[in-house]
Amino acid sequence: MLDHLYGVEARYCYVDYAAAAQQIVARCRRRSLVVFFTDLIDEDVSGELVRALRLLRPVHLPLCVVMEDPAVLQAATVPLETEAHLFERAAGLELLNERRHLVERLHRNGALVLQCPAEQLSVQVVNRYLVLKARQTL
C-alpha cells in the first residue's frame, strides 16, 4: 500500500464517499477498520461523509482522521487589536464551531474521530489502531 501511495499528493477535489463506502461493503465481508483521512470543510461536503459512514457502520468500524488546520486555530485566537482581527477571529471561530458540529454528527453515527495536526498523523493513527486492537474492537 505504501508503494502505491508514495507518489500521491494531497489536493482539493470532490470525493465520492458513498461510492467508496459501497465498494468497501461489496468487497470487504469481514469486519475492518476503515480509515478516512479528511478535512471537515463544511456541512455540505462533510455531510456526504456522514451519510456514507452509515453504510459502513453495521459491519465495519469507521475512523475519521481529521487534520487540524493551524491557520484556523491561529485565526480563532488572534488578539483583537484591529477591526480586521475581529473579522479574522470570527471566521476562525465559525469554522471551528462548524467542525465541532460535524465531529458530533460523526460520533452520533458510530464513527470514531481522531483530530490532530498533520505532523502528528502517523503516530496518532498507529496509536489509535493499537488501542482498538488491544480492546478487541476489531
State the Cα–Cα distance between residues 64 and 35, nearest whole angstrom: 6
Can you tell me the mean pLDDT for 33-45? 82
pLDDT at 59 over 80: yes
Q: How far apart are the first and last CA of the chain?
A: 20
pLDDT of residue 5: 74
pTM over 0.85: no
State the Cα–Cα distance between residues 117 and 66, nearest whole angstrom: 8
Q: For residue range 116-132, what is the model confidence (pLDDT) as tens digits?
A: 988 898 999 999 999 99
pLDDT of residue 54: 86
Please report which confidence band the pLDDT of residue 26 belongs to, taking 50, 70 and 90 as the band edges: very high
CATH assignment of 2-134? 3.40.50
State the Cα–Cα distance between residues 132 and 123, nearest whole angstrom: 14
Q: Which amino acid is located at 107 in the chain?
A: H
State the Cα–Cα distance between residues 76 and 95, nearest whole angstrom: 9
Can you tell me the mean pLDDT for 19-38? 92
Q: Are 38 and 66 spatial neighbours (Cβ–Cβ below 8 Å)?
A: yes
Please report which confidence band the pLDDT of residue 138 belongs to, taking 50, 70 and 90 as the band edges: confident
Domain range summary for the chain, segments of one domain joined by +: 2-134
Please report which confidence band the pLDDT of residue 113 belongs to, taking 50, 70 and 90 as the band edges: very high
